[in-house]
């Protein structure tokens, strides 16, 4: 099986699912279409897609990193550490900040899926007394 066809199926899968998936989840979906595929093939294909900028890879505070297809511009997330709610923000909200950092530090940012952890509005009630886990 050609590596590029695995990549193509991963892209189709990620665009259909429209979600953040772990490599394990991607593998399980792909296996239904390609029963002969093995996990390391899927993992390597995902890595190539990340390297080529087609797919983002992020640690969203769950045990495994998640992959997402990068389509129609960049987006980022605010993740609540208490209820795990994920908010999505547009790239325009961080564009100026990224721009400043790049100028000041002569640094070219390649982060294409920024994850900021915090506490959402609902969970801010009683934050001081209730800081279990993480």
Tokens at residue 44, please?
């390597």
* Maximum separation of any 2 CA atoms in the chain, in Å: 56
Under 8 Å between Cβ of 70 and 18: no
Strands 115-118 and 75-80: parallel
The residue from 60, 89, 115, 123 that contacts Zn ion (CB under 5 A) is: 123
Nearest distance in Å: CB 77, Zn ion: 5
- Of 38-46, 60-68, 89-97, 98-106, which part binds Zn ion (CB under 5 A)? 60-68
Q: How many residues bind Zn ion (CB under 5 A)?
A: 7
Using CB under 5 A as the binding rule, whether residue 44 contacts Zn ion is answered as no
Tokens at residue 49, please?
């897609």
Q: Which CB, 80 or 94, lies closer to Zn ion?
A: 80
Name, in order, each residue with C-beta under 8 angstroms of 35's C-beta and a sequence gap of 6 or more: none
The residue from 50, 82, 89, 112 that contacts Zn ion (CB under 5 A) is: 82
Using CB under 5 A as the binding rule, whether residue 120 contacts Zn ion is answered as yes
- For CA atoms 2, 16, 75, 59, give the dihedral sign: negative
Using CB under 5 A as the binding rule, whether residue 21 contacts Zn ion is answered as no
Using CB under 5 A as the binding rule, whether residue 80 contacts Zn ion is answered as yes
- Calpha distance 57→4 (Å, rounded): 19
- Of 25-33, 75-83, 89-97, 125-133, which part binds Zn ion (CB under 5 A)? 75-83
Binding site for Zn ion (CB under 5 A): 68, 80, 82-83, 85, 120, 123
């Amino acid at each position: 099986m050609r590596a590029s066809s695995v990549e193509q199926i991963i892209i189709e899968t990620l665009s259909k699912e429209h979600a953040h998936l772990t490599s394990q989840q991607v593998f399980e979906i792909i296996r239904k279409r390609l029963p002969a595929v093995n996990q390391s093939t899927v993992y390597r294909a995902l890595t190539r897609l990340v390297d080529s900028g087609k797919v983002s890879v992020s640690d969203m505070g769950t045990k495994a990193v998640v992959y997402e297809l990068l389509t129609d511009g960049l987006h980022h997330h605010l993740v609540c550490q208490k209820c795990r709610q994920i908010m999505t923000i547009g790239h325009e909200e961080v564009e100026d900040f990224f721009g400043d950092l790049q100028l000041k530090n002569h640094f070219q940012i390649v982060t294409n899926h920024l994850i900021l952890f915090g506490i959402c509005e609902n969970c801010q009630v009683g934050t001081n007394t209730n800081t279990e886990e993480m």
